[in-house]
Amino acid sequence: MGRHLSIIEPVAVTTGTSHRRTRKPVKATHFLFGFVAAFAFVLVTVVDPYSGATASPYFQVAGDAGDRYDGDSTQTLGASGAYTNTVTRDGFTVTEIVKPEPIPEPVVIASAPTQRAVTPAPAAAVPDPGSAKAIAYDAVAARGWGEDQYSCLVSLWQKESGWRVNATNSSSGAYGIPQSLPGSKMGSAGADWATNPATQISWGLGYITDRYGSPCGAWSKSQASGWY
């Protein structure tokens, strides 16, 4: 106890003309402190190589799955109907409201209007010579049409005018056997359009050919819509 290890350093002592060098004593505790300090520095470096190397709270060691961030971080998600997505970080809050796409209304396609059933024209009787129907019979044959087309023509104009030359529609003003509207249109077939059945029949067959292709085509249209 109380003993100290001393190292004698040479100190020059002058005695007369002779010199002797002595050593100053150094305490062993100084060596021990230095050794411990150096060992501690090496130990800290080996055990925690990142000691003192990072200053950011967001730092994360590679491979570490933990989150080093200690701030306020909130995420909320709700997904029933419209939903919100809220993110809060560093004092800022962003809220997104997402609404579902509206479901389009089904398109209702209107059905086509119901058309009248087409009744085939009954077979026409042989016309009386010199009558309006006899004139029409010859005109139909001259166009290359058969008996069926003549039967359709007889039914069509019977419905329209009863085959009367001076038949007049009181509501529309249509006139003559083919019920021309106005009657003056038949003037393209002859100046006597108001009284001559042959002129009216000639114009009427031309109109039917241009619009419906044949007397049976005109008859079908009349049956479906009530007019031709």
Higher pLDDT, 156 or 98: 156
Q: Which of 12, 14, 39, 10 is nearest to 22 (CA)?
A: 10
The secondary structure of 164-190 as a DSSP string is: -TT-B-TTT--BTTTTBSSGGGGGGT-
Mean pLDDT value across residues 70-83: 52
Percent of the chain predicted with pLDDT > 70: 52
Pair 174, 181: CB distance under 8 Å = yes
How far apart, in whole angstroms, are the C-alpha atoms of residue 10 and residue 19?
Answer: 11
Higher pLDDT, 200 or 23: 200
Q: Which of 190, 198, 191, 192 is nearest to 178 (CA)?
A: 198
Q: Give 196's pLDDT tier (boundaries 50, 70, 90).
A: very high
Pair 122, 147: CB distance under 8 Å = no
Of 32-41, 171-180, 191-200, 211-220, minimum mean pLDDT range: 32-41
Quick: pLDDT tens for 143-185.
Answer: 999 999 999 999 999 999 999 999 999 999 999 999 999 999 9
What is the model's pLDDT at position 109? 72
Mean pLDDT value across residues 188-203: 98
Structure tokens at 151: 């039967």
Hey, which residues does 121 pair with through a beta bridge?
Answer: none
Q: Give 69's pLDDT tier (boundaries 50, 70, 90).
A: very low
What is the model's pLDDT at position 35? 67
Q: Measured on CA atoms in the order 51, 57, 59, 63, is the torsion positive or negative?
A: positive
From residue 187, alpha-carbon distances to 31, 157, 178, 196, 228 in Å are: 141, 19, 13, 11, 20
What is the model's pLDDT at position 25? 54
* DSSP conformational letter for 74: E
Percent of the chain predicted with pLDDT > 90: 47
How far apart, in whole angstroms, are the C-alpha atoms of residue 80 and residue 94?
Answer: 20
Quick: pLDDT tens for 106-131.
Answer: 776 766 555 566 688 999 999 999 99
Neighbours of 151 (CB within 10 A): 20
